[in-house]
Amino acid sequence: MKLPVNWLKDYVDVDIDIKTLGDRLTMSGSKVEGIEETFKIIENVVTGKIVELGKHPEADKLFVCQVDTGNGSVIQIVTAATNMKEGDTIPVALHGSTLWGGLKIKKGKLRGVESNGMFCSMEELGLAEEGTCDGLMILKDGTPLGKDIKDVLGLNGGVLDLEITSNRPDCLSMLGMARETAATLGLRLRQPGYSYTATAVSDEPVSVSIDTDKCRRYMAKEIVNVKIEESPEWIQSRLLEAGVRPINNIVDLTNFVMLELGQPLHAFDRREITSGTIRIAESVEGTKFTTLDSVERTLNSGTVLIQDDSKVIGLGGIMGGLDSEIKEDTTRIILEAANFDGVSIRRSEGFLGLKTEASLRFNKDIDPNLCELAVNRFCSLVQELKAGDIVSETVDVYNARRVPNTISLGVSYVNSFIGTDISGEEMVRILESLDMKAELDGDILTVTTPTFRGDLNIKEDITEEIARIYGYDRIPATVPSIRTVRSGKYPVQRMRDTLKQVLVASGLYESIAYSFISRKDLDKVLVPADSDLRKVVEIRNPLGEDYSIMRTTSVPSMMENLSRNLTRSNPEAALFEIGRIYLDRNEVLPLEKEVLTVGMYGGDLLFEVKGLLETIFEEFGIEKVAYDRSKKVAYHPGKSADVSAAGEAIGTFGEIHPSVLDNYGIDVPCYVLELDLDTLYRKASLARKYSQLPKYPAITRDLAVLVDDSVLSGQIEAVITKQGGALLESVKLFDVYKGLQVPEGKKSIAYSLVYRNQDRTLTDGEVQKVHDKILRSLEYQLGAVLR
Extract the annotated binding site for Mg(2+).
Answer: 455, 461, 464-465
**66, 76 contact by CB (below 8 A):** yes
Residue 302 CB coordination number (10 Å) = 15
Query: Rounded to whole angstroms, how far apart are CA atoms 303 and 297?
Result: 12
**700, 754 contact by CB (below 8 A):** yes
Query: Rounded to whole angstroms, how far apart are CA atoms 185 and 297?
Result: 47
Beta bridge partners of 278: 208
**509, 564 contact by CB (below 8 A):** no
Query: Rounded to whole angstroms, how far apart are CA atoms 389 and 666?
Result: 81
CA-based nearest residue to 257, from 82, 171, 350, 380? 380
Query: Rounded to whole angstroms, how far apart are CA atoms 333 and 324?
Result: 10
Could you give the maximum distance between any two Cα atoms of the chain, in Å? 144
**141, 114 contact by CB (below 8 A):** no
Q: Check residue 203 and report its DSSP letter.
A: S
CA-based nearest residue to 31, from 158, 139, 180? 180
**297, 288 contact by CB (below 8 A):** yes
CA dihedral (54, 60, 63, 64) positive or negative: negative
Query: Rounded to whole angstroms, how far apart are CA atoms 263 and 170?
Result: 9
In terms of C-beta distances under 8 Å and separation of at least 24 residues, what long-range contacts does 692-695 make, across chains too?
694/756, 694/758, 695/758
**143, 92 contact by CB (below 8 A):** no
Q: Check residue 683 and report its DSSP letter.
A: H
Q: Give Cβ neighbours of residue 762 (< 8 Å, ≥ 6 apart).
A: 696, 697, 698, 699, 727, 755, 756
Q: Parallel, antiparallel, or unpaired for β 277-282 and 207-210?
A: parallel
Q: Give Cβ neighbours of residue 630 (< 8 Å, ≥ 6 apart).
A: 637, 640, 641, 642, 652, 654
Residue 280 CB coordination number (10 Å) = 22
Element (H, E) at 453: none
Query: Which residues participate in the annotated binding site?
Result: 455, 461, 464-465
Q: What is the dihedral of CA 314, 320, 321, 325, to 10 degrees?
A: 130
E-strand stretches of 192-344 = 207-210, 215-224, 265-269, 277-282, 288-290, 296-298, 304-307, 312-315, 319-320, 333-340
Using CA atoms, how far residue 157 sits from 8, 21, 26, 191, 293, in Å, is 9, 11, 18, 21, 32
